[in-house]
Amino acid sequence: MVRVFAVGLLLSMTGCLRVGAPAQGAGDYGYHPVLAPANAHVIGDAALTFAEYLNAMHRKLHPIFADTLLAGLDKLPPDNPLQDRSLNVTVEVVLEGATGKIVQGRVVRGSRSTAFDLATLRALEHAAPFGPAPKAIRSFDGNVHLQWELRRDAMACSTLGVHPFLLRAP
């Protein structure tokens, strides 16, 4: 059953998360992140609130990403490229603050495996919604913005790989 779900995540490419066309020779997907130092500011007093919300997100994502997807990939033949423990992908996620639904999810830095990248996006989609976000961690647009590095190794979906942002009004 675990393998069937993992393969389903690999094959299912529909939903609210999209990956752009590959950039020429870049190995990434030609997506330019919205998040940048120029339009974000230090989370400061919101750090604890962000940490609590990210831990709640992790509690929903971990059973799908680490316990199901990665465990399913472990059952693939040893020579399968998805057995490469160095695979990691960084995604940019925008959540609707009021509901925790994913508004946008994009690959910022690909893993060299489109299948792994797409499966990661689908795992996030399956874990959502993440519940209403506290107002202290919502940007001027009412959304929650973050980048999350998800890995094929033991770090998997650790919150150590999450970088939250508060966007400034233009």
> Average pLDDT for consecutive 10-residue bins of the chain (170 residues)?
37 33 39 58 82 97 98 96 97 98 96 96 98 96 97 96 90
| CATH number 3.30.1150 given to 2-167 | yes
Q: What is the pLDDT of residue 45?
A: 82
Q: What is the pLDDT of residue 21?
A: 32
Q: What is the pLDDT of residue 1?
A: 37
The pair of structure tokens assigned to 153 is 């190794």
Locate all alpha helices (DSSP H) within the chain, ordered by sequence. Answer: 2-11, 47-64, 71-73, 114-127
How do the domains of the chain map onto residue ranges?
2-167
In this prediction the pTM is: 0.78
Q: What is the pLDDT of residue 111?
A: 96
CA-closest candidate to residue 89, choices 3, 18, 148, 30: 148
Report DSSP state, residue 65. Answer: I
Q: What is the pLDDT of residue 36?
A: 60
Q: What is the pLDDT of residue 42?
A: 61
Who contacts 42 (Cβ-Cβ below 8 Å, separation ≥6)?
166
From residue 94, give the alpha-carbon distance in Å to each of 62, 109, 116, 121: 19, 16, 20, 12
Q: What is the pLDDT of residue 9?
A: 38
One-letter identity of residue 66: A
- Contact status, residue 73 vs residue 130, Cβ threshold 8 Å: no
